[in-house]
């Protein structure tokens, strides 16, 4: 009867290959391009909701560009500050940002403030649950990302 040979208990430490396929330059470009693109899309969406398919006016363009600028600034601020926070605060910050953005976007369609606030709260709650789960499962007990 044949038996398997006992395996060595000593493990060889092999370096894990990096899963990052982009260069540091690509990451620097993306750190600027992502907020700009998302901000422009959000600003256009706000302006389109506000005019409800009507004609484009100067005030409508101003609303779109101001909304885009505020979105970009807040996105960068939340992204910068939230990285240093514990997972609960990290998830709350992104949930609050998402809820406010969705609530404001929904208010531009002409619905009441109460309904817009409720929509923002619903999206914020869903965002918090998803992000908290993600951060909880991808960090150790001290809040450091696991490899």
Structural domain boundaries of the chain?
A: 29-84, 86-147
Q: Cα(106)–Cα(63) distance, rounded to whole angstroms? A: 15
pTM above 0.95, yes or no: no
For residues 112 and 9, which has the higher predicted lDDT (pLDDT)? 112
The pLDDT tens digits for 110-130 are 889 999 999 999 999 999 999
pLDDT bin (cut points 50, 70, 90) of residue 3 is confident
Query: In Å, what is the CA distance from 105 to each residue of 47, 82, 91, 99?
Result: 9, 23, 21, 10
Half-sphere exposure of 97 (CA within 13 A, CB side): 19
User: Per-residue confidence at 20, pLDDT binned at 50, 70, 90?
Assistant: confident
Predicted pLDDT at 53:
78
Return d(Cα 97, Cα 33) in angstroms, integer.
19
């Amino acid at each position: 009867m044949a038996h398997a040979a006992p395996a060595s208990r000593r493990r060889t430490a092999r370096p894990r290959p990096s899963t990052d396929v982009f260069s540091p330059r690509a990451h620097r470009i993306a750190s600027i391009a992502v907020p700009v693109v998302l901000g422009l899309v959000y600003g256009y969406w706000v302006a389109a909701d506000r005019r409800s398919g009507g004609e484009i006016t100067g005030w409508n363009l101003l609303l779109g560009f101001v909304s885009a600028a505020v979105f970009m600034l807040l996105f960068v601020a939340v992204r910068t500050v939230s990285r240093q926070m514990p997972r609960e605060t990290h998830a709350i910050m992104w949930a609050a940002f998402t809820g406010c953005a969705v609530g404001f976007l929904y208010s531009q369609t002409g619905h009441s403030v109460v309904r817009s606030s409720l929509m923002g709260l619903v999206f914020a709650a869903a965002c918090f649950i998803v992000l908290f789960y993600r951060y909880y499962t991808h960090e150790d007990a001290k809040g450091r990302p696991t490899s």
